[in-house]
């Protein structure tokens, strides 16, 4: 616990400007504020408070906060314009702040200001957490911002179906903790989980309709959580390739991978599935997957791949170059539609003549000896840390990320296999927790929710990058209990 006179400050461009009077005056929130200066005048929520907005652009954020106020305190708050009175909450613009930073001023009026709607929304999550603890909030002011732009969760909905209600619950959890993305692994060897117009035979019996997914994407966007779709290619494509067997490579384990030696047909098929969903997922991020296409041994079993690679990319090309060329081809298509492509890192190897385009974000889960995370950083790739040693869970084996390990040992710049890059690398975008399944098992959603709540809170703190509010996880767990869950 912080003692009297301690500096409350963190990273992310927010400097400490003064000292606090006592530990009791530090707002108890997750993630902890990057900077805070205690004041003498507290805020008490009025009996008929207003949430006063500076412009209509903040109305949706204000409406969501009003609903939270009602659920958390029983007080009915109304959204209004004009000048606030004591006991009111004001949401306003401060264009001088960095895009992801917000300012919190707590006195007679509680004010949240920021340069963007997303920043203001994150400020309202701080307010909601404080109001959960009581209608009076300790006075003071501070500026808060994350060290890294991305804090996310990967959920395998391909191999294990989760209800829309569960996904909405997860989005509320993510918003409460200021996460920015929900990466949905929608397709895999076992199942294709989203409605596909004209090709119903590729879709699993339990799946998400377009209407359900559109509602979910909108629900997340209101809470500034971006849904990142993953239609996994060119591996893990059994549901698709059972329909198009002429484009399938059958591996020894029975898995089907896309035959990239048939370049035009393979790329055309892949593009048709991406185009199916471009309007449905309007967010800026899109995962191609590109994991576990073919092992080195598998490549040798299909000599037509090397022949096609040399024909397309030159005499020194190898079969793996087809995969990198495929990623680049789909990446160009996605960028033409305003999306940033991303892939998993396990298929990246140092040999070959084709380099994956530097604009492709790498979701780094596998501690490869070459290229390492440091190699990829030096080569100019943006990286998201999905450290499988610490951040991976598997519902089939009841194995979930350990919150104490995350809180006490993990850092965003520490990758799988003990690899590291500089913590201040401008290419380090953040970190993701990942919950996988091997089968569509009978593990209940309630059990999954119970097991991921604490890891989510530990990673929220570490990935935000502010000073840890407690030295150990056991003490942080007390703060977890104080802050609670969203209404």
| pLDDT tens digit sequence for 224-258 | 999 999 999 999 999 999 999 999 999 888 899 99
pLDDT score of 18: 33
Which residues of the chain are under the pLDDT cut of 70?
1-24
Pair type for strands 361-364 and 383-385: parallel
DSSP sequence for 125-164: HHHHHHHHT-SEE--EEEEE--SSSEEEEEEETTTS---H
pLDDT score of 21: 33
CATH for 23-144, among 3.40.1550.10, 3.30.379.10, 1.10.287.610, 3.30.200.20?
3.30.379.10
Catalytic residue set: 292
pLDDT score of 386: 99
For the stretch 136-172, pLDDT in tens is 999 999 999 999 999 999 999 999 999 999 999 999 9
pLDDT score of 50: 99
CA nearest to 190, candidates 467, 460, 482, 436: 436
pLDDT score of 17: 31
150-464: which CATH topology?
A: TIM Barrel (3.20.20)
CB 47 within 8 A of CB 67: no
For the stretch 366-388, pLDDT in tens is 998 899 999 999 999 999 999 99
Cα 158 to Cα 55: distance, rounded to the nearest angstrom: 41
Fold identical between 23-144 and 150-464? Answer: no
pLDDT score of 24: 53
What is the sign, positive or negative, of the torsion defined by CA atoms of 273, 277, 282, 287? negative
- The full set of domain ranges for the chain reads 23-144, 150-464
pLDDT score of 19: 34
């Amino acid at each position: 616990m912080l003692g009297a006179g301690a500096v409350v400050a963190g990273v992310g461009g927010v400097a400490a400007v003064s000292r606090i009077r006592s530990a009791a005056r530090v707002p108890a929130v997750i993630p902890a504020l990057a900077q805070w200066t205690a004041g003498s005048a507290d805020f008490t929520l009025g009996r008929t408070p207003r949430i006063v907005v500076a412009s209509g652009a903040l109305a949706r954020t204000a409406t969501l906060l009003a609903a939270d106020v009602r659920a958390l305190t029983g007080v009915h708050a109304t959204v209004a314009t004009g000048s606030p009175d004591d006991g009111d909450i004001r949401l306003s613009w401060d264009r001088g702040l960095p895009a992801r930073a917000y300012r919190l001023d707590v006195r007679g009026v509680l004010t949240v200001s920021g340069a963007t709607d997303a920043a203001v929304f994150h400020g309202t999550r701080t307010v909601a957490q404080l109001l959960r603890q009581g209608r009076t909030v300790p006075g003071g002011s501070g500026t808060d911002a994350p060290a890294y732009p991305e804090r996310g969760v990967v959920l395998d909905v391909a191999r294990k179906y989760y209800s829309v209600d569960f996904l909405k619950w997860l989005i509320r959890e993510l918003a409460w903790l200021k996460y920015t993305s929900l990466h949905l692994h929608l397709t895999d060897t076992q199942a294709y989980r989203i409605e596909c117009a004209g090709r119903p035979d590729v879709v699993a019996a339990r799946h998400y309709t377009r209407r359900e997914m559109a509602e979910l994407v909108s629900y997340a966007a209101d809470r500034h959580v971006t849904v990142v779709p993953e239609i996994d290619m060119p591996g893990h494509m059994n549901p698709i390739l059972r329909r198009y067997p002429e484009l399938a490579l059958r591996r020894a384990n029975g898995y089907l991978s896309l035959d990239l030696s048939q370049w035009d047909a393979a790329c055309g098929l892949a593009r048709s599935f991406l185009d199916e969903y471009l309007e449905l997922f309007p967010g800026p991020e899109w995962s191609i997957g590109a994991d576990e296409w073919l092992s080195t041994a598998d490549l040798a079993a299909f000599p037509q791949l090397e022949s096609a690679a040399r024909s397309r990319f030159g005499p020194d090309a190898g079969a793996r170059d087809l995969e990198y060329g495929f990623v680049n081809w789909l990446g160009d298509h996605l960028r033409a539609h305003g999306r940033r492509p991303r892939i998993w890192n396990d298929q990246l190897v140092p040999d070959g003549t084709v380099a994956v385009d530097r604009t492709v974000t790498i979701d780094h889960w596998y501690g490869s000896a070459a290229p390492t995370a440091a190699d990829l950083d030096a080569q100019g790739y943006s990286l998201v840390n999905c450290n499988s040693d610490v951040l991976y869970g598997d519902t089939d084996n009841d194995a979930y990320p350990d919150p104490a390990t995350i809180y006490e040992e993990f850092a965003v710049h520490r990758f799988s296999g003990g690899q590291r890059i500089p913590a201040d690398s401008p290419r380090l975008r953040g970190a993701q927790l990942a919950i996988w399944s091997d089968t569509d098992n009978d593990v209940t959603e309630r059990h999954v929710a119970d097991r991921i709540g604490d890891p989510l809170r530990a990673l929220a703190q570490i990935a935000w990058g502010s000073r840890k509010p407690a030295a150990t996880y056991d003490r942080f767990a007390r703060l977890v209990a104080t802050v609670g869950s969203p209404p």
